[in-house]
Amino acid sequence: MRALARAITLVERRDPSIRDLEEAVRNDTRSDTNPVGVTGFTGAPGTGKSTLVDAVVTLLRTREQSVAVLATDPNSPFTGGAILGDRIRMQRHALDPKVFIRSMGARGHLGGLSLASREAIRLLGAFGFDQVVVETVGVGQSELEVAAVADTTVVVLTPNLGDSVQMIKAGILEIADVFVVNKADIDGHGRVVAELRTMLNMAPKASWKPPIIPTVATRQEGVEQLWEAILAHRSHLERTGKAKELSERRLRDETVEVAAELARERTRRALREDPALTERLLKEGTPYRTAEEILRTRTDN
Amino acid sequence: MRALARAITLVERRDPSIRDLEEAVRNDTRSDTNPVGVTGFTGAPGTGKSTLVDAVVTLLRTREQSVAVLATDPNSPFTGGAILGDRIRMQRHALDPKVFIRSMGARGHLGGLSLASREAIRLLGAFGFDQVVVETVGVGQSELEVAAVADTTVVVLTPNLGDSVQMIKAGILEIADVFVVNKADIDGHGRVVAELRTMLNMAPKASWKPPIIPTVATRQEGVEQLWEAILAHRSHLERTGKAKELSERRLRDETVEVAAELARERTRRALREDPALTERLLKEGTPYRTAEEILRTRTDN
């Protein structure tokens, strides 16, 4: 567990030894034979996402599955409280060696979160976890990052937030494989489900139609149905060949993003170590030419 | 105007001729002597941002200033309507040759929007515009991208949205140079201003304290005060040397992002043109090693 925590820290820090970790993971054959299942949970703050994730972890433990939870955070200093709250809520699993919980930050730059979570997920698979749950904390584009790393994306709504229309605006319909209407015991539940169903019927026909699962996470209600829906989606991916397609596309995308990150590092170093280059950039205002020159002439990594 | 529109399309498409545009702009000395002023407007949907931007454009035109508006869009297919709405609203300036309005999309990948808007802003400066207004359309991380390109970031709130707390969560306090409480003629206005003031007083001391400007954009009320606040912030940047610092930091950041983008292109091309490389990546699952190899061995751009 400590080795895993340390490895994920290296991934977050973009430490050059990620490469060695990658080689180590590559030589581990388990990840080929039985890839880890990745489920993403996203939704507005206050929908009870963390409680729901906690309930899913509890369910999976009764089924003897090991689970890792990655709580990803867009990293504003103002979300610190929320992360802390999640950690406290998850403490009932703190002593269970088959549950690993980790908060991951975006560390400033866009795109960094999904890259770091992909690497972390590969590590978790190599360390033998059966399931990984990726949860977004906070708001913003992070839900798109979750969808980029998860096999199945669960979008959590509630009856008391009038946020369904907002959700649509952010393109959430496109990324949802399963909808949860949590807090199904309060008023307005039927209306949200109906609204959602109307929207889903308006969406273009697809081979997978996202089911809508009502839950009361605080009472563990609907969680089994939710997990069945997630497994059904996973079977669908396998059956249609989309699982393989997804995993290949992700490896390509990840390679592209790693290259971008390496180029960023190289450029920052060049600007730091070559005052003449920086001076010319600031004087002439030519970022494009400067970047090209750095990539062309500096091949160190 | 048509040349400008075409140039911005090249920037959006990441056309290789951006480099030539950059050289052309570099030879234009105006941008050094009188840099274009960039004001960003951000806020939740429904706050009346577009109407406010429209009111600011109207004010600037009475002062004989030319204005370009960039409406930036996180590019979900579901926001198409909003963008269209903005365009319709802006039509009162459609025949004014000193007003240029353009919607820009993120084209899929993170970080792309701020890079494209920086290049577009440099072009607008070279084409002789006095002011550029960058407006976010939709929700999400786009407000951070606006802050990354604007000299002055205006955050728009309204009394009837209970979104001030949400805003804080997204780290909006850190990026706001000026607050607008729009729709100042409806109930709850005083409460939002008071809430905001309390939050600002809790924030760490800084040399600039963001003013709070009440407006009724639909009636052009408060718009002059808003513009005065924006100009006061700009003077503050000049006086404290922050303007120069900002512009230098942006050139560095932009160079880093251009390099990342060039590396992405190079990697995509390598994976497309070298089946053996791709096959090995998919078989071994080593994005880090593959990316390093591509950057080390391929120096073409």
Q: Which of B129, B126, B125, B127 is nearest to B99 (CA)?
A: B129
Decide if B295 touches A, using CB distance below 8 A. Answer: yes
pLDDT-derived band at B75 (thresholds 50, 70, 90) equals: very low
Contact B259 A266 (CB under 8 A): yes
Q: How far is CA A34 from the centre of its chain?
A: 20
Contact B252 A278 (CB under 8 A): yes
Chain B contact set for A257 (CB, 8 A): 264
Q: What are phi and psi of B102, to 5 degrees?
A: -150, 130
Q: Residue B99 — left, alpha, or beta (φ > 0 → left; ψ -120 to 50 → alpha)?
A: beta
Cβ atoms B158, B46 nearer than 8 A = yes
Amino acid at A120: A
Give the pLDDT of residue B166.
53
Cβ atoms B179, B145 nearer than 8 A = no
Q: Cα(A86)–Cα(A83) distance, rounded to whole angstroms?
A: 5
Give the pLDDT of residue B67.
94
Contact B262 A263 (CB under 8 A): yes
Instruction: Say whether pLDDT at A187 is over 90.
Output: no
Q: How far is CA A64 from the centre of its chain?
A: 23
Residue A95, both tokens: 């002593």
* CA B144 to each of CA A109, A227, B8: distance values in angstroms, whole numbers, following the listed order: 10, 35, 21
Model pTM score: 0.72
Please compute the mean of the pLDDT values over residues A121-143 and round it to a whole number: 80
Q: Which residue has the higher pLDDT, B234 or B19?
A: B234
Q: Chain B window 205-234: which residues touch A at a Cβ cutoff of 8 Å?
A: none
Please compute the mean of the pLDDT values over residues A26-42 and round it to a whole number: 69
Give the pLDDT of residue B33.
45
- Minimum Cα–Cα distance from A270: chain B residue: B256
Cβ atoms B14, B3 nearer than 8 A = no
For chain A, what is the total number of helices (H) and then of strands (E)? 14, 7
Contact B260 A264 (CB under 8 A): yes
pLDDT-derived band at A52 (thresholds 50, 70, 90) equals: very high
pLDDT-derived band at A62 (thresholds 50, 70, 90) equals: very high
Give the pLDDT of residue A202.
81
Q: Cα(A50)–Cα(A65) distance, rounded to whole angstroms?
A: 19
Which CATH number is A2-240 given? 3.40.50.300
Give the pLDDT of residue B214.
96
**Angle at A63 (CA atoms; ends A92, A244), nearest 5 degrees:** 110
Chain B contact set for A278 (CB, 8 A): 252
Contact A259 B295 (CB under 8 A): yes
* Residue found by looking up tokens 């920052």 in the block: A268
Q: Which residue has the higher pLDDT, A164 or A213?
A: A213
Instruction: Say whether pLDDT at B12 is over 80.
Output: no
Neighbours of A276 (CB within 10 A): 7
Give the pLDDT of residue B239.
95
- Closest partner CB to B289 (pick from A19, A281, A292): A19
What single-letter DSSP state applies at residue A205? P
Strands A212-214 and A178-181: parallel
Q: Sign of the C-alpha dihedral, residues B158, B162, B163, B165?
A: positive
Q: Which of B104, B169, B111, B210 is nearest to A108 (CA)?
A: B111
Q: Which of A130, A137, A129, A131 is nearest to A113 (CA)?
A: A137
Contact B255 A74 (CB under 8 A): no
Give the pLDDT of residue A133.
95
Percent of all residues in chain B with a pLDDT value above 70, rounded to a whole number? 78
Query: Length of chain B, please?
Result: 301
Give the mutation candidate from A288, A290, A301 for the B interface (greatest B CB count, under 10 A).
A288
Percent of all residues in chain A with a pLDDT value above 70, rounded to a whole number? 78
Q: Chain A window 56-95: which residues touch B at a Cβ cutoff of 8 Å?
A: 74, 76-79, 82
Residue A42, both tokens: 């996203």
pLDDT-derived band at A138 (thresholds 50, 70, 90) equals: low
Instruction: Write the burial class of residue A22 (CB in 10 Å: 0-12 exposed, 13-18 middle, 19+ buried).
Output: buried
Residue A128, both tokens: 């033998």
Give the pLDDT of residue A206.
84
Neighbours of B301 (CB within 10 A): 15
pLDDT-derived band at A26 (thresholds 50, 70, 90) equals: low
Range with the poorest average pLDDT among B5-19, B159-173, B197-211 = B159-173
Q: Cα(B116)–Cα(B21) distance, rounded to whole angstroms?
A: 13
Strands A212-214 and A99-105: unpaired
- Tens-place pLDDT, residues A80-117: 333 444 555 566 777 788 998 887 765 544 445 677 78
- Tens-place pLDDT, residues B111-162: 456 777 888 888 888 888 999 999 886 555 566 778 888 999 999 988 865 5
pLDDT-derived band at B228 (thresholds 50, 70, 90) equals: very high
Q: How far is CA A182 from the centre of its chain?
A: 20
Q: Which residues lie below 8 Å from residue B59, measured CB to CB, with a gap of 6+?
A: B220, B223, B224, B227
Q: Cα(A66)–Cα(A274) distance, rounded to whole angstroms?
A: 49
Q: Cα(A262)–Cα(A256) distance, rounded to whole angstroms?
A: 10
Residue A287, both tokens: 């970022």
Amino acid at A128: G
**Angle at A287 (CA atoms; ends A285, A291), nearest 5 degrees:** 145
Q: Cα(A136)–Cα(A172) distance, rounded to whole angstroms?
A: 13
Q: Cα(B185)–Cα(A177) distance, rounded to whole angstroms?
A: 43
- Tens-place pLDDT, residues A288-301: 899 999 998 866 54
ipTM of the complex: 0.75
Mean pLDDT of chain B: 81
Q: Cα(B55)–Cα(B43) distance, rounded to whole angstroms?
A: 16
Decide if A173 touches B, using CB distance below 8 A. Answer: yes
Cβ atoms A50, A89 nearer than 8 A = yes
Among A221-235, A285-299, B114-128, B278-292, the range of highest mean pLDDT: A221-235
pLDDT-derived band at A264 (thresholds 50, 70, 90) equals: very high
Q: What is the SS3 assignment for B258?
A: helix
Neighbours of B241 (CB within 10 A): 9
Contact B281 A171 (CB under 8 A): no
Please compute the mean of the pLDDT values over residues B236-252 and round it to a whole number: 92
Beta bridge partners of A181: A157, A214
Neighbours of B91 (CB within 10 A): 10
Q: Which residue has the higher pLDDT, B185 or A31?
A: B185
Give the pLDDT of residue B110.
43
Query: Domain coordinates of chain B in residue numbers?
Result: 2-240, 253-297
Q: Which residues lie below 8 Å from residue B205, measured CB to CB, with a gap of 6+?
A: none
Give the pLDDT of residue A300.
56
Q: Which residues lie below 8 Å from residue B274, measured CB to CB, with a gap of 6+?
A: none
Q: Chain A window 255-274: which residues touch B at a Cβ cutoff of 8 Å?
A: 255-264, 266-268, 271
Instruction: Say whether pLDDT at A70 is over 70.
Output: yes
Give the pLDDT of residue B182.
93
- Tens-place pLDDT, residues B16-53: 777 777 777 765 544 444 568 999 998 877 788 889 99
Give the pLDDT of residue B187.
85
Strands B212-214 and A67-73: unpaired
Give the pLDDT of residue A204.
79
Q: Going edge to edge, which strands form the sheet with A152-157?
A: A99-105, A67-73, A131-136, A37-42, A152-157, A178-181, A212-214
Instruction: Write the burial class of residue A3 (CB in 10 Å: 0-12 exposed, 13-18 middle, 19+ buried).
Output: exposed
Q: Which of A11, A189, A3, A244 is nearest to A117 (CA)?
A: A11
